[in-house]
Structures are given as C-alpha cells and as structure tokens.
Chains A and B, each alone.
Chain A
C-alpha cells in the first residue's frame, strides 16, 4: 500500500469504495430480509432502502472501475498523504482514541485533564506544571458549565465518587 514516502491516492480510493460496497451489501441484504416489494397495504419497509443500496453498489463499482482504468496512467503518483503528514494525523488520532477509552474508566473530567495536559507536554513541550494547570482549568470549566449551570450530568469515574459528588 505504501510506496516511497507517501500513501497513494489510488489505493485509498479503492479502500473507501470497497467500504461503500460493503455497506451497500449490508443494506441490500437487510432490505430483502424485511421485504423490498409491494405488500398488501403499500410498500414494504425495505422498498426505499433497497434502491438506496443499489445506487450505493452501482456508485462504488463505478469508482472502482474508474480507479482501475487509470491505474497505469496514475502510476502511484497522486498523493493521498505524505508519510510524515499521515504520521502527524496519527499523533492526533491515537491520543483521541485513548482519551475516549479513558472516559469509560476515569470519567470525562479526569480523562480531559490528563489528555490536555499530556498532549501539551508531549507535543507542545510545555512544563508539566503549566500543562496540568491548563488541563485542570478546562475540566473545571466543563464542570461549571454542564454539571452546575445547565444541570447536564457528564460521565464520572472513581475520582468523583471519592470526592463525594
């Protein structure tokens, strides 16, 4: 998939089109299951989605065909992302995924504090003290806005239970 120092557009094009095709098959199979024709009292539940699925399938096939037809001509020249760019993107994506997972365990306040502070230390080279201060400020602002002012509870973890909230 990778050649030289960049991700090729043509491979990503195929990958995404294949995903569309997968979705279209899910849509079509389920529409047939619930019925895609004309029932006793009107169109069955799968009537409308069935055609949506067909259009998805057709469109995805068209994109794949186009990509394959220009395969040689393109020769992997068109760039989806340079490798270092893609890595930068991952530097944002992976911490975000970890942050989301952490909400389940730590609750949103502690997870946000840690996420903001860690990202600042790691990417911004800030001092630990300053980073934690900013992280704490963000969490406190969230708490004031949601929990206190608008009365919308956010996910909490052990620390809030421990603090008796």
Chain B
C-alpha cells in the first residue's frame, strides 16, 4: 500500500518533470533565478515584494510557467541574500542576518570563497530536503485535508494566527495589533457573501478593498529603503571570486558537518510548515548549532558551521512554506502568501482540491523546485563577482531606482495611480512598524487570508446556528482549536510568571 503510494507520487513527479522541462519553462526558470538573485542582493527588494512587483508581468503567461518563474525568483532571492551577508556584512534579506555572524568574519580572513560555497551548498541541501518532504508529504496532507469542513479550516487558520502570537519575538500585543489591522483592511470593500459595502465610508475607490500586493510592495520595499537610507549605508565589501578549486575543497570539508546540517534541515522544515518562516528558523538553527558545537567559542569569529546552520535552515523553511500553501491554502511565509495571491489571480483555488484538479500545475511546480535549486546553485556559484559588482553601485543611484521599480510594480497591479499613493503610505507604515517592533508578516498574512478566514468562520457559524461549540465538537477541529488556544496562552504564561515573581 505504502509502496504503491510512493510509486504514484514518483509517477506524478516524472510527469511534473516533463511539464517543467520544456524549453520556455527552462528559460523562465533561468530568468527567474537571475531576477531573484538580483532582488536578493539589492536592499529594499526582497523575496516578498520582488515577487509582488513581478506578478503583473505573469498575468499573460500560463499559470504553470508563471508559478515556475515566480518560485524561481523566490529561490534566487534565498540564494542572493547570502552574497551580501558574507561579502558586505549587510543582510540582503532578513533570513540572512544570522549568516553575517560568521560569514563576514570568514570573508575578512580571506575565506570568502569558502564561506560562499558553504552557504550556497547548504542552501541547496536544505531546499532539497524540504522539496523531498513536500513531494511525499504534500499529497498525503492534501488527501487528509479533503475531509476538512469549514470548522476544520477555520481551526487551522486560527492555529496559524495563534502561533504567530505565541511564537513571535515581537511583543504579543503588537503582533496581535498588526494582524488585526490586516484583517480589518481585508474586510474593506464589497462583502462577497451579502453584497454589502463595508468600511468604504462613501469612497468609491475603496470598493475593491486594499490589495495585499500594494501593501507588500510598500511595507517591505519602500519601508526598507527608508530604513536603509536612515542608516546612511556605505557599502564596503570584500572581494568575492570562486574558483572550481575553492568549490571542490569546500565540498570535501562539508560532509564533516552532517549533524549540524541535519539539525538545521529539521528546524527549517518544521518552522516552514508551521508559519514560523525562514527568518526565525535561521536564528534558531544558528543558536542550536552554537549550543551543540564542541567549539562554541569559535562562533562569531568565522566558524563554517555558523554559515551552514542558518543557510540550511532558511532554505529548508522557505521551501517547506509552500507545503501548507499548496495543501491547505495557508502560506507559511510572506513570500508564500504572495505566491498564493498569484494563484487566486490565475483562477486557481489553493487547497486540497488543487492536487486532484490541477495535477500539471502542482507537479510542474514541485519538479521545478528540484530543477530551480540545481540551476540556482550553478548560477550563483559562477556569477558571484557580478552580483558583488552590483553592490558596489552607490546607494544614491540604487535608492531612487528601487523607488521607481516599486512605483511601477504598484501601478501595474490594477493600472491605478491611487495604488502608488497607497504604496507610499504603506511604506511609511512599514518604517514606523519596524522601528516600534510591530511585525509585518502577520499583517500581510491576515490581509491575504482575511476573506478566507472570515468565510470559513461564517460558514461554520451557519452550520452551528451561531454557536462557537462547533470548533470543539469534532475531535479533529477540537484538537486543532485546542492547540491554537495553547499557542495563544503561551505569552500569558510568561506574563504570569513575571507577575508572580514580583
């Protein structure tokens, strides 16, 4: 039975490779990776807003080609973040902050090529493990989720949001506020169930509500540029050039660190599937590696494990974040949320049915994860000097160009200038939120999932005639809701401890 099931997945996967391996799709893959690395390298453009800006370009493509290109942008961005961290001590992406701790010291000691090779290779390993997990676990989860009714879906969504509050580094109240703001913005406009206008206050332009793509471009793009400007960045980088010899020498050394790598994969996969995301995964993995190491004193001074651990985990988390997105329609990271928004725009309903109704699409995507990461690894290993050169372009050129790109991206979503203005407002908001420690990820996720969460809540309420008991009445919904409540109570527990101590 199990053997049959695996055969089935392998068959599907080979079919997926046939879909992904057509010439145009390989071309999109390559373009995607290159754009992705560029986005990952440039400050202010990251995975989430990079994909958001480029999403309108794909409206004319077939959904399969589009998702292949967009997901490759994502892989590219994951790779690109490491380059700036190691060579310039500037994390191009939040998930590569932990990579700077040991990556930059290594570069300072003249071991930049080694650090880069280790980072790229571990990224690749992390992604590969996560894709393997997605390949074999996703169909099972999807099959299981076919039995879900509205109460179960709402319970899963509740769990997603509760774990944000329970697990986030930021103050729980602020996480909650950011999230509720996302829900409130999602509710603006035409209510799809009753056709009532909500919270438009007579403004016709608010009819269609707030688009999360605009929010993502503003919050992450403009907000980041404002923050970078404030730091008055001057890029002073180390030289980066990798020869074949460097690669082979580093590869010979890497198997020694299999245990670090394995732990990092586990942490990454776990944090990706539960909505922790790549950033906390990389920090957690770095911390664990340091604690378990025989020479923790070397960490921070250029230990190669300090590069392997966060990079593996970040890639594993970034990749496995697609598992809940595809099977349950719940993205595990902001970038996955943008991809999910893309699916909706192309008329695909994410969730368990996707696996039975859109086989080509799903397996084409999964196959492209394998191929995209292989292509990505080769591309970054061979092109590092280019990207380093791009980073030497002064900020006074890069900054206005990025603002222009963001504005164009925001405009093309709906061909509306109002969106460009809104993008600026969101940008200012992103700046203030970052400084005051309001997390942005839950805001974006709530904005994307708001309608879905509300619909499943209302449907459940209709079934139960307004009684909240429905979320605990079946064993499945009950246990998920229970887990969600534990997550919610987590920060309170800490509070009580603090109070009782005095």
Contacts and interface: CB of A to CB of B under 8 A. Distances in A.
B187 A26 contact: no
B421 A116 contact: no
Contacts of B187: 27, 48-49, 52
Interface string B402-434: 011001100110010100110010011001110
Contacts of A116: 397, 400-401, 404
Given A26-B199, A43-B466, A56 B57 contact: no
Contacts of A26: 199, 201
Interface in B253-304: none
B399 A12 contact: no
B191 A45 contact: yes
A42 interface: yes
B411 to A, nearest CB: 6
Interface residues of A, number: 65
A150 B408 CA distance: 13
A4 B270 CA distance: 47
A34 B400 contact: no
Interface string B2-34: 000000000000000000000000000000000
Contacts of B60: 150-151
Interface in B170-218: 173-174, 176-177, 180-181, 183-184, 187, 191, 193-194, 196-199, 201
Nearest to B61: A150
B222 interface: yes
Interface string A88-104: 11011101110110011
B198 A45 contact: yes
Given A20-B181, A142-B408, A38 B466 contact: yes
B411 A59 contact: no
A42 B181 contact: no
A149 B193 CA distance: 39
A20 B438 CA distance: 12
Interface residues of B, number: 59
A49 B397 CA distance: 44
Contacts of B181: 20, 23, 56
A13 B436 contact: yes
A153 B416 CA distance: 11
A92 B399 contact: yes
Interface string B50-92: 0000001100100000000000000000000000000000000
B222 A56 contact: no
Contacts of A80: 435-436
Nearest to B431: A89
Interface in A109-135: 112, 115-116, 119-120, 123-124, 126, 134
B436 A16 contact: yes
Contacts of B199: 26-27, 30, 49
Contacts of B174: 59, 63
B201 A88 contact: no
A154 B412 contact: yes
Interface stretch (B224-232, B327-335, B356-364, B368-376): B224-232
Contacts of A24: 184
B246 interface: no
A29 B231 CA distance: 41
B394 interface: yes
Contacts of A86: 230
Contact of B404 (A52, A55, A138): A138
A133 B407 CA distance: 21
Contact of B222 (A53, A88, A96, A108): A96
B466 A115 contact: no
Contacts of B400: 95, 99, 115-116, 119-120
Contacts of A53: 184
Contacts of A160: none
Contacts of A44: 194
Interface of B: 56-57, 60, 173-174, 176-177, 180-181, 183-184, 187, 191, 193-194, 196-199, 201, 222, 225-227, 229-232, 394, 396-397, 399-401, 403-404, 407-408, 411-412, 415, 417, 420-421, 424, 427-428, 431-433, 435-436, 438, 454, 457-458, 461-462, 466
Which 7 residue pairs spanning A and B have beta carbons closest together?
A: A124-B396, A92-B229, A119-B400, A123-B396, A45-B196, A59-B177, A89-B230
